Structure formats: C-alpha cells, structure tokens
C-alpha cells in the first residue's frame, strides 16, 4: 500500500485567482532579453547555414557578459554547450576567430563533444550532474537535438515521441530556472508560417517554450532571425554575418529586413552578373532608384561583399563569403 502511495503522481495544489494574484514570483532569467527567455527554446535552420556559429556566438556573449548578436546587453553567467556534431579542433578554430578582438577565452564556458549519452541512456541525469556545480548557470546549448534525443524508431505516434523528448529537456530547464537552446533543422518545404517548417511533428514546438528560426540563402551574408514563444512577442530581425570574425549581428527589426531585401537585390544583381558592372547597368537590371543603388553600393563595399574595380565599376568579391 505504501509503495503504491509513493508511486502516485504529485498533484498540483491549486489556488483561487484571488490567491494567485497575491503571490510573488522571481523574475525570469533571460539569456538574451526579448529573444532567448528562460525555459526550453529551439533554434532551427537549414543545414550549413550558421546555426552552430550563432549558438557559439551567444554562448560566448553570455559567458563573458556584454552584447549578444552585436547589440543586446546580456548578464554574465556560466554556459554549458553540448557540441555533439563538432570536435574540439573545430571548436578551437572557431573560438580563435570569434575571440580575435577579445581579452581571452571565458573560463565559465564549458564545451562537450561526442560521445555523450543520449536521453534514455542517462543523458538527462548526466547533464544535470554537469550543471549542478554552477549556481550561476544561465544558458545550456544542445547541438543538435537529433544527437541527444533517443534514436527515432518506427512509431505510430511520432508526435508523442517528439513531445516527450522536448518535455524532458523542458522539465530540466524549469527545474534549474535556466535558458536551454536546442539546435534543430528545418524541412525543405516552405509554409506560410515558417515555424511550421521545423523538422518533425508539432510535438516539438508544442512542448517548447520558444522557437527561433535562422533563414539565410546559401552563400549570402544577410539573413533573418524569426522568434516567437510563450514569453516573447513574435518578431523578425535582419541579421548579418561577419566572415572574418564568424559573428552574427542583428541589424534591426522588420523594417530593416524590408530595407535589406533591396540591398540584397543589388548584391544579387552584381553577383549573378559574373563580371564587372557599371552603376547604370546595376540600376537598369535591379530596377531600383539610382540614388538608393549608389548609397547601398557604398554600404556593400564597406562590408567587403563587393569591390570597386575602378571609378563607377563594381564586381562581386567571392573571397568575402562562406
């Protein structure tokens, strides 16, 4: 009888609305204010488009304290990063570039590569043990979900398997009051709602507290970061990749995305031409106002994405992209 009682689920106490309104709760801890809240968050994007680089950028910013994604002030705290698709040599190479202008590497950013036990093989328990020595833990990154979750099996209920995998990580993030960022993939399809393109079933987004989507065309330096969640407003940011420092930086919000679309159009016009172009040719082929084209060309040159061959003649510089 006692054994059965011990196995019973703990039931929530329940309160009246009046009692609830009189309660005081601690403020949630943001890894990145308005972008990456406390709880379980998914960062999804297509393969080889910079998700892991963005995650490592964020890890460094939080570990050192300062500005994440180039513009958002974040509080300092310990970070644990499971880089399950990388090796230590690649991580060292990336850190060396990302920290080129910094005063050394943070000693509160802890990195683990494979082999690391999966969920179902003791992975959650071991991860909890790895986090327990750090009372100031602020961010945990798992790269990728596919490498940490149980191996997928043929099932009649894929939704439940997805939901269970995310829920197990969410329970740990809630227990520790910490932001978790889980790296995942997008499907090849394109839906009206981009969050519907996150690989797997709706069990993943249904169980998660928040989701971020990184969109970038292959070989292009301008992208978009979309965010939505229980504790954040749906938002869209224009972002830019710095090849030299392996750094993603936010340019601005939705208005800036519209502006960068035209800037990208100018860049594409020059790149797709394959040779030298005059300002007049760029204006004619892009269909944009000459004054705007001239201004954006100066911006593209300052970013190193195109070069001026001589006065009034420009071409694409393939050395500036990854």
DSSP 8-state code for residue 186:
B
Residue 282 half-sphere exposure toward CB, CA atoms < 13 A: 31
Query: Rg of the Cα trace of the chain?
Result: 23
What DSSP state is assigned to residue 292? H
> How far apart are alpha carbons 252 and 224 in whole angstroms?
10
Distances in whole angstroms, Cα of residue 13 to Cα of each of 6, 7, 34, 281: 17, 18, 31, 71
pLDDT tens for each residue of 237-247: 989 999 999 99
Name which residue leads in pLDDT, 83 or 197. Answer: 83
Compute the distance between CA of residue 235 and CA of residue 241 in angstroms, rounded to an integer: 19
124: tokens are 């959650």
> In this model, does residue 254 exceed pLDDT 60?
no
pLDDT in tens, 144-196: 999 999 988 777 789 999 999 999 999 999 999 999 999 999 988 778 788 99
Domain 259-320 has CATH 1.10.10.10: yes
Say whether domain 25-252 belongs to CATH 3.40.50.300: yes
Domain ranges of the chain: 25-252, 259-320
């Amino acid at each position: 009888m006692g054994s059965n009682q011990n196995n019973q689920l703990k039931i929530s106490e329940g309160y009246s609305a009046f009692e609830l309104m009189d309660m005081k709760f601690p403020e949630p801890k943001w890894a990145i204010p308005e972008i990456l809240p406390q709880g379980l968050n998914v960062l999804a994007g297509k393969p080889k488009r910079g998700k892991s680089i963005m995650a490592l950028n964020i890890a460094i910013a939080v570990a050192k304290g300062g500005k994440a994604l180039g513009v958002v002030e974040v509080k300092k705290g310990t970070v644990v990063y499971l880089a399950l698709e990388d090796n230590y040599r690649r991580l060292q190479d990336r850190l060396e570039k990302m920290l080129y202008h910094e005063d050394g590497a943070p000693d509160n950013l802890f990195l683990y590569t494979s082999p690391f036990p999966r969920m179902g093989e003791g992975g959650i328990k071991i991860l909890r043990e790895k986090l327990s020595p750090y009372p100031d833990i602020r961010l945990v990154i798992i790269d990728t979900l596919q490498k940490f979750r149980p191996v997928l099996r043929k099932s009649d209920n894929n939704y439940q398997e997805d939901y269970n995998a995310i829920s197990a990580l969410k329970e740990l993030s809630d227990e520790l009051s910490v932001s978790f960022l889980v790296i995942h993939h997008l499907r090849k399809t394109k839906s009206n709602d981009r969050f519907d393109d996150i690989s797997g079933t709706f069990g993943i987004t249904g169980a998660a507290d928040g989701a971020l989507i990184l969109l970038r065309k292959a070989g292009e330096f301008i992208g978009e970061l979309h965010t939505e969640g229980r504790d954040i407003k749906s938002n869209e940011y224009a972002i830019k990749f710095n090849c030299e420092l392996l750094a993603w930086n936010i340019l601005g919000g939705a208005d800036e995305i519209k502006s960068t679309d035209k800037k990208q159009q100018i860049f594409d016009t020059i790149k797709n031409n394959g040779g030298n172009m005059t300002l007049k040719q760029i204006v004619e082929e892009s269909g944009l106002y000459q004054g705007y084209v001239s201004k954006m060309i100066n911006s593209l040159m300052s970013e190193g994405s195109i070069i001026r061959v001589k006065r009034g003649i420009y071409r694409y510089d393939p050395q500036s992209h990854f």
